[in-house]
Structure 1
Amino acid sequence: MILPLIAALGGGIVSRRRIAEEASRSGFKEIWNEWELRGMVFLSLSIQVFLIFIGNRRKHSAGTFTTFFTWVAYLTADPVAVYSLGIITNKLTRSSDPRADFTLELNAFWAPFLLLHLGGPDTITAYALEDNELWLRHFLSLLTQAGVTFYIFFLAWDGSSLCILTFGMIIAGVVKYGERVWVLWVSSSDKFRNSIPNHSSNFSKLAEVQKLRMAEGFQVVPHEVIEVREAAMENNLEGTDFSLDNEKLSNEEMYKRCLGEMLAARGLITIFQRLFADLLLSLQDRDMSIAILEGKNFQVIFKIIEIELGIMFDVLYTKAKVIDTWWGTGRRAMVMLFSVLVLAVFLLAEVRSNSSSPVDLGITFLLLGVAIFLEAYALMFLSFSDKVACWLVKTKKLKALKVINWLQPFHKRQRWSGKMAQFRLLSFCLREKHLFCDRLLKIAKLDESITKHLYVTHEEVTDSLKRVIVEQLQWLKSKSTWNTRGSLILEYYDQMEKLGWSVKLEFDESIVIWYIATELCLNPTDLTSLVPSQLDKHIREKIQLHNMTCRVLSQYLVYLLVIHPNMLPVGIGRLKFEDAYTEAMRFFDDQKSIRDKEKTKNGKLKVWEALKQLCSCMIMKIKSMCGRNRKMDESKVGVECEKLRNNVNTKLNMTIVKEDKSKFVLFHGCLLASQLQEINDDETRWVLMGYLWLEMLTYAAGKCQGKYHCQQLRRGGELLTHVWLLMAHFGMTDHFQIPHAPSITELIFK
């Protein structure tokens, strides 16, 4: 009797548990079905708002977090909108009579707004250049998603005013998505290259006309009309001085200078956009750009380059090609006005009398409000563009120009980050920074590829550096060369015989060697010996300037070698870096083992020394995880540099080894540092090193292809890209290969 009773009680408890579990599951399922669509629509809205704000910030933001979250939002936006359309379709097809349910009709009204989201905000159409090549995929998506939206519209059609409003929003969504597909198509590599006009000649046509006229008895006299490019004159605003520094100008003079800079940049980029498509330029283009930049202050020259690259970013990564037309501006104004009209009609309709959920009504109002905001922001984005400012100057609409300058001053516009990345190879070799998941990364063999980004910092590109770069380019231009990577300055200081071996190696190997030598020279035991106090003030300032130049450019080129090796000349950059890293780690490990042996007694480490070492390691890891002080890092690197100088035997001649010489870059760097220290004159040594790094920078810039420069525009821009375009304006590129300048030829018949 007892056993059956226990079994019955146990079965009852189990059944009640099952009922409770099924009830909780059914309740969760009901909540999910009710809130799934709302959550996805709200997520799609949030992504659109985030992208419209962050999309254009990529032009002047070099932060890793900005890049990462933009990438996540861009990849998530389309799937979320498509999934939401699928949920709406599923709800309508499952309902026996969707026209009788106002909630389903309201959900169908959301479909065209999701199509608007697929069109994307105007500040970002492509995350990377590769996205422009996928225009055909987006075109097929436009056809399918537009078809799904129309299918939803017909399922919910009941002839009400809400359905009529839905049809109007569908048309706006199709047009907006079509704009995105068109922009991706015209920005793709082939279409972009074909859209740039070639330097054509009308000689064949004129020869045919000449032959016909001569047969008719006319006397034909050729007459050449020289074509004067508008860009050569449009930056010469009356009363503007482009030779003074910005600090010496008044607000009115600075305002005029900014207008001249934008006009010059707008005219030059129409010609030099050929570089981004790897097309050739004419000698007339070279002479014209040199004439425009001649006599300009270095700040003006760099500002013109910044504006040009900002325009190229808008062309390649935004809807600038659509916005900058009358059709694009008019369409945005019409869509915004239509959205306001829809919102007004929706408010006046019998929405409140229906039993729809307040949450659904709130999401509907939010969809309409965001749609209006996106179009208004697009018009504001257009108003603050450099192209509109140039158009206002040409049409002499000075009052509108003054208003725009008051809202957003021209001289404060950010067109790139203004920073250059830095990578300290020796700090990376010392493993000064750690992640909490180091062991997992080592098991997955991802530790080096991930942790190397912890050692990337950013330095501001100062006016002093800009000045020396312009001076270096002008000096190289006077020498009619730009393909050297250090030999020119070594010959100038008569050091080619002694130091020439360091620049005759492969370029990436030379970067690592000169970086090590620079670190050793910048980290002496007595830091005051860098700039002796007894020197003249002018000489000390000159040495300090080149100290800074050596430090930032050496770490910048190493950053390119480690993070973006495709921007450097073709070589085995990754292998060089790995060899240098392995060799340095071996050296530091050997030094550590020597120190450990010195601390041992009878072959066993003392207990208190072991505890001390364990505590110091834990403290170092905690500090590295919390963001270590840069001064502490520099002091540790300085100590290790001192050990390199004292322990590496530079008297050996290892340059004759037949094996891969990249395995000896650490030795070569120490050898080069010792040879540089033999130059007794501090001014000569540091000026030589500074200009050699500048020469290596210009060599790397000239050898990088245009497509890699385009890719960096979305990461806040690179100093290397600015130097590359500046070299092209000075005529220091192999792209000037069209010997005959374009001209207009007329035939005079007598």
Structure 2
Amino acid sequence: MARMMVEIPIPPNWKLIWDTWDLRGFIILSLALQTFLIFVAPLRKKTKSNWVVMPLWSAYLLADWAANFAVGLISNSQGNPSESLGKKNVRNRVENEDLLAFWAPFLLVHLGGPDTITAFALEDNELWLRHFLGLFFQCLAAVYVFVQSLPDNRLWIPTMLMFMTGIIKYAERTRSLYLASADRFKDSMLTDPEPGTNYAKLMDEYVSKKDAKLPTSIEMVPEPDRAAKSANKAKKGNLTKLEVVQYGYLFYNKFRGLVVDSIFSRKERNLSRDFFLNRTAKDAFAVVEVELNFIYEVLFTKLPVVYNKIGAVSRIFSLLTICLAIVLFILKGKTNFSPEDVTITYGLLFGALVLDVSALIMLLFSDWTIIYLQESPDVEPDKSFKACIIDAFLTFRTEGRCRARNDNEKTKHVQNEPKTCGLSMRVTNNRWSELVSTYNLINYCLYPRGKSWEDVYTKLGISWFLDSIFYVESKRFTGDLKEFIFQELKSKSELADDLETAKEVSSARGDWVLRVEEGWGSILKYVDNVDYDQSLILWHIATELCYNEELTKSDNVNTIQRDIAKLLSDYMLYLLIMQPSMMSAVAGIGQIRFRDTCAEAKRFFEERKAPIEMAAANEASIMKENQQVPNEDTQDFKHIAACKEILSVSTDVPPGTIKGDQSKSLLFDSCKLAKELMNVVPKDPKVDKWVIISKVLVELLCYAASHTRANMQAAQVSKGGELITIVWLLMTHFGLGDQFQINEGQARAKLIVGK
């Protein structure tokens, strides 16, 4: 029985276009993707914008696929090059095979990827073995194409040159992935083996002296604590731009083991703690940002591989081979090649040259160049030629076209910064996005998405994605917030001289503040014996209610501290709900509590819809009558009215006694907390409710930072950075946390022989 064949009716013209341009199209696509990756990849540590991250992710995935597919097309076309280079070139079969063989090594170069990105996520580093096997098989494919073109290949010399360059590029990427993989990165933290004092030799001497009737004893002689001595001489005053980079590299070298959960010595803690206790908020955050930048480059780029002697040699060799290949191709006769193929070949050659030169320039303008020129911060600054070059280089790189604002500016000034200037500054100067993502429960419940489509979104699994678009807002990381967090960590570090106290402080979840500050003990029940996620939601809603209660008042309110509390509150809820993988160690049943609370809030807003809208209209008219200009926060009068409506509900009877275990909602428990916060009369007028709320939220942030898995923290450096990651590293440098050894030998045995 004859088998019936079904042909898809493809128009002949379309088929001819595909046969002519399939390989050419993928060659051009591969080059375009490499160009996009090398210039856009560095932006991902500076921005959280989906308009940058999503195209970059797509290009990263497509780049390898396009290059592999093109190599396959070239391999299949051997013996019949007309299928890939067009039917009009059948008579020039030999020349076309030469050109195909010349194109193949360029795809190896593309598979090696640019210096600016080797892995998109930490998990990609674990696939280094797959890339190693890929190197082997792709090299075989390129060799096969080249051998098929022999012995009449007139382009064999430039082909061999590009083949060597391709192998180097691919090998560099594979080695970068291997060095950044978790196991290998942890192995690199290991120091040389320390066998300790030669016990057998010492005991032989001890016994022989005893047998000789000599007064002999063994004493433990303390070793000189060089780290402690250098810590005592920690630099005072402000840091220069050069010193920020140098100290960032110094602490990166000492504490990079944090990424793989290493334990650090008391010496390292003392050195780091003493240094940061003598810093300003601006310098401390700058050093930590440099440190995180080094971590990013080690885990996600080729810089650790190319920034050494072998890497320098390979860079020079690669540049020379590309230039030589260009010269040889220009001198070679091209009468038998089609103009389109010659143009594509020139594009590949000069594209490779531009990408190599661009990578070299980026390398020269990186922090690694600064460290190479002058690594040690202990070298006194001078007026030498090298020092002048470094200073000019840093000034040029950091100032850019847009002068950054002073970190001590008020919040409102930073928020009103012109967008064009801010964008330019963020792209050219910042080492991370300097944005704090916020998520607000009241806003989420007050403006829900359409109910008719909600089930569809849930089944498709895109609800979280839509939430990140419609309900997550990015706010600038202000100088006021930076100063407040720094001072809180510094004050805790000053109390934590011993490691036991440091652990106790870093495990506080708001209770430390409420016990230290007089007059706030009545609020302790909202943090003591309360789950972390429950406490976080309680304080988030209470902060929101207090904030909106005061928003339209003209009283003398501590607006700076109030804005800090608001920003921290919304950020902490963002972490809990939108970053569940980061908060998994502390989240508990946070998602259940959040959903139950939202369900009760939505029902409440629906039932009180009329009075909320009426109150919102009244607030707007009153402000208009008083000729007050509404600011950004007071424009949403409905939100303000909704919060006041919640506060109008009596909470004389604790909500838990009515609900029991039926619901995990915390809406009116938070309302009760907000009322208590507003009614507390502090003994110290300077420590008002906004100071207390801010301090509690900082403790909640620090607790989450110290209990988040290290690999999750490290992953954030390639996603625009997170405030919690900076706090995590800053806590370590202040000696807070449980990653330090409590007991450590500080002495060596010495044989003492009396006279």
What band does the TM-score fall into relative to the shorter chain? 0.7 to 0.9
Structure 1 residue 496, shift from structure 2 partner: 5.5
Secondary structure (helix, strand or coil) at the match of 2:572 reads: helix
Q: Quick one: structure 1 residues 163 and 62, their matched pair in 2 at CA, closer, same or farther if it must change by over 3 Å?
A: same
Segments of structure 2 that go 5 or more residues without pairing to the other structure are 1-7, 83-89, 377-383, 405-427, 497-504, 615-630
CA distance in 1, matches of 2:602, 2:723: 30
Q: Which residue of 1 aligns with 2:269?
A: 286
Match 2:701 to one of 697, 702, 705:
697
Distance 1:130 1:414 in 2: 26
Relative distance call for 1:236 and 1:687 in structure 2 (3 A) is closer
The residue correspondences of 1:161-560 to structure 2 (distance < 5 A) are: 161-198=154-191, 201-204=194-197, 206-211=198-203, 226=224, 228-229=226-227, 232=230, 242-243=237-238, 257-351=240-334, 354-394=335-375, 397-402=386-391, 404-405=393-394, 407-409=396-398, 413-431=429-447, 441=457, 444=460, 446-447=462-463, 449-480=465-496, 481-494=505-518, 497-504=521-528, 505-524=530-549, 527-529=552-554, 532-533=555-556, 543-560=558-575
Alpha-carbon deviation of 1:403?
A: 5.1
Q: Is 2:669 the counterpart of 1:668?
A: yes
TM-aligned CA distance change 1:295 to 1:210, over 3 Å? same
Shift of residue 452, structure 1, vs aligned partner: 4.0
SS of the aligned residue for 2:473 comes to strand
> Within 2, Cα distance between the matches of 1:394 and 1:673?
52
TM-score, normalization by structure 2: 0.82
Contact 2:582 2:712 in 1 (8 A): yes
1:53 aligned partner, one-letter code? F
Report the alpha carbon displacement of residue 65 of structure 1 after superposing the two structures with TM: 1.8
- Residues 14-29 of structure 1: matches in 2 within 5 Å? 25-29=11-15
Determine helix, strand or coil for the equivalent of 1:736. Answer: coil
1:42-53 pair list within 5 angstroms: 42-53=28-39
Residues 203-241 of structure 1 deviation map (CA, whole Å, 9 limit, x = unaligned): 24x32343455678799998665363599579978xxx6
Give the 3-state SS of the residue equivalent to 1:259 in structure 2.
helix
Amino acid at match of 1:365: Y
CA–CA distance in structure 1, aligned partners of residues 232 and 344 of structure 2 = 50
* Kept after mapping to 2: 8 A contact 1:235/1:263: no
Cα distance between partner residues in 2 of 1:436 and 1:371: 52
Alignment of 1:66-215 (within 5 A): 66-95=52-81, 100-198=93-191, 201-204=194-197, 206-211=198-203
Distance in 2 separating the partners of 1:749 and 1:38: 84
Q: State the secondary structure of the residue aligned to 2:226.
A: coil
Partner-residue secondary structure (3-state), 2:506: coil
Pick from 582, 591, 611 the counterpart of residue 599 of structure 2.
582
Please state if 1:639 is matched with 2:644.
no
Could you tell me which runs of 5 or more consecutive residues in structure 1 were left unpaired when the two chains were aligned: 1-20, 244-255, 534-539, 599-628
SS of residue paired to 1:427 = helix
Pick closer, same or farther for the CA change 1:223–1:447 going to 2, 3 Å.
closer
Task: Tell me by how many angstroms 1:66 deviates.
Answer: 1.4
Q: Which amino acid aligns with 2:714?
A: C
- Output one character per residue of 1:421-440: Cα deviation in whole Å (capped at 9) or x when no partner: 11122111122677998785
Residues 1:234 and 1:402: Cα distance change in structure 2 (over 3 Å): farther
Instruction: Please give the alpha-carbon distance, in whole angstroms, between the structure 2 residues aligned to 1:496 and 1:577.
Output: 27
Which shifted more, 342-351 or 551-560?
342-351
Distance 1:289 1:525, change over 3 A: closer
Q: Secondary structure at the match of 1:122?
A: coil
**Can you list the C-alpha shifts for 1:316-341, whole angstroms capped at 9, x where unaligned?**
11112112211112211210111011
1:720 corresponds to which letter in structure 2? I
Residue of structure 2 equivalent to 1:603 = none
2:371 and 2:460 map into 1 onto residues whose CA distance is 54
Distance (whole Å) between structure 1 residues aligned to residue 746 and residue 150 of structure 2: 61
Whether the 8 Å contact between 2:81 and 2:96 is mirrored in structure 1 is no
Give CA-to-partner distance per residue, 1:154-188, whole Å, 9 cap, x none: 11123544112112211211121111111111111
Return the alpha-carbon distance in structure 1 between the equivalents of residues 269 and 258 of structure 2.
12
Moved more, 341-350 or 220-229: 220-229
Q: 1:406 to 1:734 in 2, by over 3 A?
A: closer
Are residues 229 and 490 of structure 1, via their aligned partners in 2, closer, same or farther at CA, if it must alter by over 3 Å? closer
SS of the residue corresponding to residue 415 of structure 1 reads coil
Of 722, 726, 730 in structure 2, the residue corresponding to residue 726 of structure 1 is 730
Counterpart amino acid of residue 460 in structure 1: R
Checking the alignment, whether the CA contact within 8 Å between 2:221 and 2:747 is kept in structure 1 is no
How has the CA–CA distance of structure 1 residues 394 and 737 changed in structure 2, closer, same or farther, with 3 Å as cutoff? closer
In 2, Cα distance between equivalents of 1:490 and 1:308: 33
Q: 1:84 to 1:636 in 2, by over 3 A?
A: same
CA distance in 2, matches of 1:211, 1:696: 54
Deviation at 1:130, TM superposition (A): 0.5
Contact 1:45–1:370 under 8 Å retained in 2: yes
Q: Which residue of 2 aligns with 1:626?
A: none
SS of equivalent to 2:741: strand
Q: 2: distance between equivalents of 1:663 and 1:422?
A: 23
CA 1:84–1:216 in structure 2 vs 1: closer, same or farther (change >3 Å)? farther
Written as runs of structure 1 = structure 2, the 5 A alignment for 1:705-720 is 705-720=709-724
Q: Distance in 2 between matches of 1:708 and 1:641?
A: 35
For 1:27 and 1:491, how far apart are their aligned partners in 2? 81
SS of residue in 1 equivalent to 2:240: helix
Whole-Å separation in 1 of the counterparts to 2:451 and 2:362: 40
Residues 1:449 and 1:350: Cα distance change in structure 2 (over 3 Å): closer
Using the alignment, how far apart are the partners of 1:114 and 1:302 within structure 2? Answer: 42
1:315 Cα deviation (Å)? 0.6
**By how many angstroms is 1:653 displaced?**
1.3
Aligned-pair RMSD on alpha carbons?
3.3
In structure 2, distance between residues paired with 1:436 and 1:310: 45
CA distance in 2, matches of 1:631, 1:546: 15
Question: Do 2:259 and 2:714's aligned partners in 1 also have CA atoms closer than 8 Å?
Answer: yes
Contact 1:259 1:390 in 2 (8 A): no
Q: Could you tell me how far apart the structure 1 residues matched to 2:275 and 2:473 are?
A: 35
Give the deviation of 1:566 after TM superposition. Answer: 2.8
Deviations along 1:608-662, one digit per CA (max 9) or x if unpaired, are: xxxxxxxxxxxxxxxxxxxxx965873221121122122x331121334684486
Q: What does the per-residue CA deviation read over 1:537-570, in whole Å, with 9 as the maximum and x for residues that have no partner?
A: xxx5xx2221011110000000001111232324
CA shift at 1:377, angstroms?
Answer: 2.0
Q: Which moved more, 1:394-403 or 1:700-709?
A: 394-403
For 1:548 and 1:632, the matched residues in 2 are separated by 13
Given that residues 234 and 263 in structure 1 are in contact (C-alpha distance below 8 angstroms), is that contact kept between their aligned partners in structure 2? no
For 1:79 and 1:588, how far apart are their aligned partners in 2? 51
TM-score by length of 1: 0.82
